[in-house]
Amino acid sequence: MANPLASDLDAMRRLLESQAHPGRYAQRFHVVPPVGWLNDPNGLCQLGDTFHAFFQYSPFNAEGGVKMWGHVTSPDLVTWSYEGAALYPDQPFDVSGVYSGCAFVKDGTMHVFYTGNVKREDDENYDYVNSGREANTIHVETKDGFNFGPKRVVMDNSDYPADVTEHVRDPKVWEFEGRYYMVQGARKQDDSGEVLIFVSDDLAHWELVNRVTSCTSFGYMWECPDYFELPDPDPLHDHKLLRVLSVSPQGLHGGDWDRRNVYQSGYFVVRGDITGTCWLKPFALWDAGFDFYAPQTFETAGGKRRILIGWMGMPDEPAYTNPTIEDGWQHCFTIPREVTALHGRVRQWPVHELEWHRTDERSATGELTASDTQTFDLLVEGIGDETFEATIGGGLRLSWDGDVFRMVFTDDKVGAGRVQRYEHLDDLTNVRVVGDTSSVEVFVNDGELTFSTRYYPDTYSLSVSSPGALIQLWGLDV
């Protein structure tokens, strides 16, 4: 490693990783940082037979710090191997952090685009919104995900519109009819969020083609945008393609937002052409649980499936202290979820490869209890008009009363400060819950609604009650 800053960061990272002891809440099959802090999934892609995922990584501080890209690979989206760090903040244009971005695969080359974050040395006149900050768009190529070419700045703040603040970031690239498109999230000077859309013919020169926002202001900043299209097979739905713009808005207040997380992630269905005339349908939440933010999607080779991975974490939540901080690490990814469209909405479902790891099947009608459920996969089907209730790890309750689906911590230790999340739901047909040592992901009605949370039980047990429903439970051996 020729760059002395990168080689020293590399040596420090390796030293800390060699001393890591993740402790009792270590996850079995979720991507975690070996030590320190993890946030957004970055650069998700498939290259050859291998899936690559990168993550916002601060190995030096479990409560966040300077960001680099950690790297994991997988043959099957379920078993992941840690591969070290891929990109360090080692250049003047990314020195305050290798921020979030994507990996666009073209002819066997991974084109990585990310935001080079620069915060200039403190000056009392800087507010770090309109001054003191740089958001550089960086392009770097790799043929294997391990050896990277030179970092090139393809855009800086002077390339973004004059009425946006210095908060512009998180490029995501796709190809359409031979041209390349990029979305970036932005905060406008009037404190509203929007998505900037750029076009390129060579991945090096980019030009602004559109700016997309909602009819009325919806938060002050939109982070981590993503755009994709899904076939919508519903014959009653008159649009054959569902066009989806995913964003993570910050600054939503009032009404239902006040009982939800501090920041949100969700999607707008787009009517029209995202690069030209279009409008956004109402925002739908990706996940209504406590821990979900900044998801990214990618297409598997040949465009067969679209997979979404979220950050199972939430920044800036005052009522919560993650107990794993004591063990020197914090946060993880969600399990990869396949996304599909139905009735003009997006559904999320755990990738089917997870089912290969099911062991020890138990099933019952109406009621089931079990212990030794450190890792589990639970499926409850045929719920009909009856109620549904489940208690997990002695302190996390899921319930549906015909009107509202709730996730409630009944034991403060298990919830580490969290209390409840809920959404209105008129009909409940099925619930799937995937549990790892310190996380629970709930998929309601074939994944139309999901709730994800970290949890910290003393003992692992499960009890489910739903009169007349078929309840199936497996262990997961990954």
The only residue of 294, 368, 380, 464 in contact with ligand FRU, by rule CB under 6 A: 294
Nearer to ligand FRU by C-beta: 40 or 287?
40
Nearer to ligand FRU by C-beta: 224 or 368?
224
Q: Which of 40, 90, 170, 291 is catalytic?
A: 40
Question: Please, what is the end-to-end C-alpha distance for the chain in angstroms?
Answer: 35
Name which of 188, 195, 183, 113 is nearest 148 in CA terms.
Answer: 113
Active site includes 477?
A: no
56 forms part of the interface with ligand FRU (CB under 6 A): yes
115 forms part of the interface with ligand FRU (CB under 6 A): yes
Least CB distance to ligand FRU at residue 40 (A): 5
The only residue of 40, 194, 291, 436 in contact with ligand FRU, by rule CB under 6 A: 40
Least CB distance to ligand FRU at residue 255 (A): 24
The only residue of 67, 172, 337, 418 in contact with ligand FRU, by rule CB under 6 A: 67
Neighbours of 44 (CB within 10 A): 24
224 forms part of the interface with ligand FRU (CB under 6 A): yes
Least CB distance to ligand FRU at residue 296 (A): 11
409 forms part of the interface with ligand FRU (CB under 6 A): no
297 forms part of the interface with ligand FRU (CB under 6 A): no
Nearer to ligand FRU by C-beta: 42 or 438?
42
Nearer to ligand FRU by C-beta: 119 or 406?
119
172 forms part of the interface with ligand FRU (CB under 6 A): no
291 forms part of the interface with ligand FRU (CB under 6 A): no
Nearer to ligand FRU by C-beta: 56 or 165?
56
Contacts with ligand FRU, residue ranges (CB under 6 A): 39-40, 56, 67, 99-100, 115, 169-170, 223-224, 293-294
Catalytic (active-site) positions: 40
